[in-house]
Chain A
């Protein structure tokens, strides 16, 4: 089954404790992206990657890091989480750049930073 898998789905952590949210897709997609969703603000892009070893900042990259060492994986790293990073996070992938292809979303990771 074609899917985007995120882990963990839920996480409560404390300020400053490094964490990684993993994302994996099994569709051989080139494009992958991370979004955060907050009430009233919709989906805002954090980082995206057009292929292996190619990543770029989205609209709200501060406080986040990503890497794309393999085509299927695109982890989101919070080196020193802060309460303002409490949010619902979605990973998404697309066969090509989103211009010509739909985005497939993971089920989301709800993060709470105390």
Chain B
């Protein structure tokens, strides 16, 4: 079945520093989604990437889909305490469902 590796598992940053999380697959992906889960909360959809080399921005968040559609990244510029949470990538499997990465837990130190 579909497998996707997400790194790092944890990241602690000083407020104002940048943060990046990566998702890597051994197979070509049709698309990839990103979710954010605040502490004690539920996952919330952030974005979906579909095209090879696609780059999308949401304020301080930049999402990229690799040219080979095997990897993706989420970059946050100048982190704020509101960015705290776990970020998940999710990819479609061949069985019409979504497989989630293990997530990157971001801690922002004020």
Interface positions of A (Cβ within 8 A of B)? 33, 35, 40-45, 48, 50, 56, 58-59, 90, 92, 97-99, 102-108
Contacts and interface: CB of A to CB of B under 8 A. Distances in A.
B43 A105 contact: yes
B103 interface: yes
Contacts of A92: 43
A90 B98 contact: no
Interface residues of B, number: 25
Given A40-B102, A45-B100, 13 more contacts: A33-B97, A40-B9, A42-B103, A43-B43, A45-B99, A90-B43, A98-B92, A98-B96, A102-B33, A103-B45, A104-B45, A105-B42, A107-B42
A50 B44 contact: no
Among B6, B33, B97, B101, find the residue whose CB has the most chain A CB atoms closer than 10 A: B97
A59 B1 contact: yes
Interface of B: 1, 6, 9, 30-31, 33, 35, 41-45, 48, 88, 90, 92, 95-103
Contact of B96 (A40, A41, A50, A104): A50
Contact of B100 (A40, A43, A99): A43
Contacts of B30: 99
The 10 closest A-B pairs by CB, nearest first: A102-B45, A42-B102, A43-B100, A105-B42, A98-B98, A97-B96, A105-B43, A99-B92, A42-B103, A42-B100
